[in-house]
Structure 1
Amino acid sequence: MNERINSQSNSIKSSQITNTPTDQSVPVTRSETRDSNSLVKHHGNLTVLTGTVFIIGEVAGGGILSLPHAVSGAGWFGILLIALCCANAGYSGICLAKAWIILEERYPKYRSGLTRKPFATIGYHAFGYWGSAIVSISMNFTRFGTGVVFLILTSQLLQQVMSHVNKVQELGICSWVPIVGVSLTPFMWLGSPADFWPAAYTAMLSTILGSIFLLADIGLQAKDRVSSANYPMPTFVSFFKAFGNILFAFGGVSAFPNFQNDMKEKDKFPKSVIYGFIGLLFLYIPVAGIGYGVYGNQTADNIIQNLPQSALTTVIDCFFLVHCYTAFLIIVNPVLLELEEMLKIPKIFNWKRCVFRTALMAAMIFTGLSVPSFGPILDLLGGTTITLMAFVLPPAFYWKLCRVDPKGEFKARLIPLYTNIILAEIAIVGVIGGAASTYSSIIWFADPDSHMETACYAGRSAITYFID
């Protein structure tokens, strides 16, 4: 496996680094000594193209199916929010990529050594222990919650695909959640993103094809549905609840340092970010705009649930089902690596890894059975930890690493005024939008008329629970 490959130094050549001291002249700091045990020799094999594919495959999919519903809560302003969040998240991803390059320039060990928690490492060198701790806590919460969202979404899609099969069609969503979880568990035992790069290509291609067929199917319904669609003005709660949904759709930024660590030339990862977010924008805007235009405020959490059962709908279900199965591995991998580092589980394939990852899947299954509708989880994550990790911490870390080092070990990097303005705008929009979105989600949870699904083990329903 990729984790066991011994490598030569790569990624940052001396000609690519300006004013960089040689390995012998770089001062050894406490943080560098502290991180030494968490590194292994590593030679990445991801290219710019593969990095782009990982970004699209990891970020899109579940988010694209929920965006029409988000726009229904924000009104047509939601389209502008999607464009704004796309630009902000893309720039945040570039900030993270540049922050890692700064670490490689200052600490040569990162050029050829693989760390299982690169985002937390950036936070440590920017703000010390607390920077690392905030990233770790947010990462674990976010990735676990996102994994649950994908587990429920995959179960919904599989239930729809199997709805025509005798006996199997009688199973409700709460039967499919554990089935999907068990089927995904063996694939979770794989190591880092470089070990399952074909999953990224499969996730991206299935999303693109599924989106094309989805737009076609929605177009077929347009003639009968547009005339009866309603587009009411958004309320404060609905607008910012939708904002959290949109923020969630771009929440994959926290996994970017893991992808960058597996690249052959890490300094080229910003190109992957740019190409990836251009691709996301071309996927998100048509599906969100056309979906809301056809169904209005009747748009479901999952746009596919608005479509009538047909052969075309089954094809769409299958494409997004393939995406969810493959994207799930990419989504949960960062938290697996992070927690295994904390638990000191060996980096090579071993029984401890299998037991730990199986136990984590069991926890996700239980959470999915407790909240069998992914909409509330999605909105809450979008307004809290995803906002923090994708829109607040990356600009802050990059800005801090570029400042003068108080110990005098490294020179400051000049940040142009316009860049400072962009960094401030991203952080401010993230903080305001995230806080308002979180407040709106809490209000919705507290509303007795919110129609939130009860836990699978708390009752039965012809739709949500086991069907007799």
Structure 2
Amino acid sequence: GDWWTQTKLWYRQQYKKADPVLPAVPASLGLAATAASLAGNLTGAGMVMIPFAFVWIGWSAIFWLPVFGVLAVFSAGLLESCCEMLEERHEEYRRFHWYTQYSDVANRAVGPGLSKVVGALRLFCVVGLWAVLIVIVSATMVDFVALILPVPVPRGHLYCGFIVGCGVLFVLSSGTTATYCRYWCGVVNTPVAVVLTILLLTGIAGNNKMATGTGEAMFTIKLFDLGSLIGDVSGLSKGVKDVTSALYFVSLGILAFNFAGVCEFTNIRRDMKAPPSFPKAAAFGVAGSTLALFIVGVTAYAVLYPFNGNVVLIFNTRNVRIAAHFFTLTCMGQVSNLSDLTLGEYDHVEDYGKRVAWRRARISAPLALCAGAIALALPYEGPLMGLVGSLALCPVAFLLPPVFYYKLCQGSEQWPEKPLSTRMKICLALAILCSLLVFIGGTVASIIQLVNEYGADEQSCFRGFCYDQKFALTPASLSLLDIFTSGGNVDPNWGKCSTKY
């Protein structure tokens, strides 16, 4: 059909009723369109998330970005191979729908007991993803409202209100209104993202003067004494304080968050006509995403490296900042799709390919409630993103697929043995080691940073509405250069809940 028919088929693919006995008929726009969509969405997510990592790991991200890209492609290929093995060895597996691929593979690789643990971990992924998205979207909306309103607004109350509203929105978008809301959001997402990308890049090129600094950025600089580490923030050089090493591992968790969220590792596309084309499709899509990540991250680090926090809040030009907010909200769909794919596994067999509104709402409501509670208590984008990425997404996306593949190849009473080559064993070991590095280091470092910020900060809806520090600009007489040159000595009353500034 024409391009509009193909577009509707593409975005409605996950809603159509399909025969669970046979793989679903593909309705894809092709590799180029898939890669363009991934790149566009990831550019939006990366514009907000990646600078957290780049500020803390410096130019070593040039090494880590390709590593995560290779891990994403490798893990996706392993999952696809696991599906092929199960189809060959277990005839009934062909009756399973592609919605439940990951849980099916886990059940047959590690057994029903551990597969329940994996399922709980994936639900935790949903909660963590929603919590991070709620925090980022709420901060974006508060700043957007403050920009367009002619009068000052109580930002603390506004922020907490947006958090509650976003929690309700996540319940609706995954439940009662999913069929219509997510479909039309998907249709308009890519073209709007492309237009806003052009506007935003043009605005950045002419936006030579940045804002005087946001409260969150200044707080982190003061807390970790980053002002004395300017020019040496990679976390690898000698003489750097230990706290920078913690930030380094947090940044690895943020990278895992980006790649796992955007690559949508649960959708390993058994519905394609030619299964051998899957590795090519996965490699092409992840390559486009990696390139977008690299461009956004390098640009953000090169221009904004002294800052920490939401890059959107750094922009000084009003129009560029408003466009960046729209861009951020538009491009969050790719990350939220991961949670929808995970929740799709809890549909009944007879309901595969369609949405059962209230059943899905009953599942998503408690998850959204937990995510909202986390966002209210811990509104710290960087460490929260690092914790979710390293503790939840990294094991599911990068650590477990090699384990599943190895277990299925070991042979048992049920499956014939499939010996592994030495090269494959080395690749599996390297993938597991890299994943363990991010999982252990990122989790511990993120928890440490969350505890430090929670203990020293007053930003929590459970402890009051002191969000002026998060959003307020520095005094007009004080610049970031002054803070850096003075070793971080600023007025101790700055940023506190008072009317002084």
Question: Does TM, normalized by the shorter one, top 0.5?
Answer: yes
Q: 1:363 to 1:441 in 2, by over 3 A?
A: closer
Q: Distance in 2 between matches of 1:4 and 1:98?
A: 26
| CA–CA separation in structure 1 for the residues paired with 2:199 and 2:458 | 30
1:123 aligns with 2:99: no
The residue that corresponds to 1:437 in the other structure is 442
Greater displacement, 81-90 / 179-188: 179-188
**Aligned AA (2:175):** W
What residue is the counterpart of 1:284 in the other structure? 293
Change (3 A) 1:222 1:10: farther
Distance in structure 1 (CA, Å) of the matches to 2:124 and 2:316 = 36
SS in 1 for 2:97: strand
RMSD between superposed Cα atoms in Å = 3.8
Provide, for residues 322-360 of structure 1, a one-character-per-residue CA deviation record: whole Å limited to 9, x for no partner: 222x33641321342345669x99975253333443443
Instruction: Tell me the alpha carbon deviations over residues 91-116 of structure 1, each in whole angstroms, 9 at most, x when there is no partner.
Output: 11221122222222333444453264
What's the CA shift string for 1:202-259, capped at 9, x where partnerless? Answer: 445555554554444444345889xx99432323212112112112111237843335
| Native 8 Å contact 2:44 2:331 kept in 1 | yes
- Structure 2 counterpart of 1:152, one-letter code: V
What's the offset of the Cα at 1:139?
0.7
Q: Alpha carbons of 1:379 and 1:257: their partners in 2 closer, same or farther (altered >3 Å)?
A: closer
Find the counterpart in structure 1 of residue 312 from structure 2. Answer: 304
Equivalent-residue separation in structure 2 for 1:111 and 1:443 (angstroms): 46
Aligned AA for 1:421?
Answer: I
Give the distance between the partners of 2:353 and 2:74, measured in 1 at CA: 34
Seen in structure 2, the aligned counterparts of structure 1 residues 330 and 224 have a Cα distance that, compared at 3 Å, is closer
The Cα shift of 1:310 comes to 1.6
Cα offset, 1:10, TM superposition: 4.1
- Cα 1:60–1:104 change in 2 (3 A) is farther
Q: 1:381 to 1:308 in 2, by over 3 A?
A: same
Question: What's the TM-score, normalizing by structure 1?
Answer: 0.78
TM-score, structure 2 normalization: 0.74
Among 409, 420, 426, the residue aligned to 1:421:
426
| Cα 1:195–1:442 shift into 2, 3 Å | closer
Matched residue count = 431
Give ranges in structure 2 of 5+ residues lacking alignment.
1-11, 212-226, 236-243, 472-496
Query: 2-side partners of 1:329 and 1:67: how far apart?
Result: 17
Residue of structure 1 aligned with 2:132, choices 149, 156, 178: 149
1:7 equivalenced with 2:19 (yes/no): yes
Query: Which sits farther off after the overlay, 179-188 or 44-53?
Result: 44-53
> Which residue, 110, 114, 123 being the options, matches 1:140?
123
Rounded to whole Å, the distance in 2 between the matches of 1:193 and 1:48 is 23
- Deviation string for 1:62-119 (max 9, x for gaps)? 3442212211111211232122212222211221122222222333444453264321
Query: Residue 362 of structure 1: which of 347, 362, 369 is its match?
Result: 369
Amino acid paired to 1:417: T
Query: What's 1:186 paired with?
Result: 172
Deviation at residue 160 of structure 1 after TM alignment: 2.9
Alignment partner, residue 294 of structure 1: 303
Q: Where do 1:53-452 residues align within 5 Å? A: 61-111=44-94, 113-114=96-97, 116-163=99-146, 164-165=148-149, 170-171=154-155, 172-189=158-175, 196=182, 199-200=185-186, 202-221=188-207, 230-233=230-233, 234=235, 235-252=244-261, 255-258=264-267, 260-261=269-270, 263=272, 265-300=274-309, 302-324=310-332, 326-327=333-334, 329-338=336-345, 349-403=356-410, 405-407=411-413, 409-412=415-418, 415-447=420-452, 451-452=456-457
CA distance in 1, matches of 2:133, 2:145: 18
Residues of 1 paired with 2:169 and 2:415: CA distance?
Answer: 50
Shift of 1:455: 2.0
Whether the aligned pair in 1 keeps the contact of 2:387 and 2:446 (CA below 8 Å) is yes
The whole-number CA distance in structure 1 between the counterparts of 2:177 and 2:79 is: 22
Instruction: Report the 3-state secondary structure (helix = DSSP H, G, I; strand = E; otherwise coil) of the residue aligned with 2:331.
Output: helix
Show the counterpart of 1:15: none
Q: Which moved more, 1:421-430 or 1:56-65?
A: 56-65
Distance 2:457 2:439 in 1: 21
Question: Does the residue aligned with 1:128 lie in a helix, a strand or coil?
Answer: helix
2:491 alignment partner in structure 1:
none
Q: Which runs of 5+ in 1 are unaligned?
A: 12-41
Q: Match for 1:407: what amino acid?
A: E
Q: Compare 150-159 and 451-460 and name the one that shifted more.
A: 451-460
Cα–Cα, structure 1 residues 8 and 348, in superposed 2: closer, same or farther, change >3 Å? closer
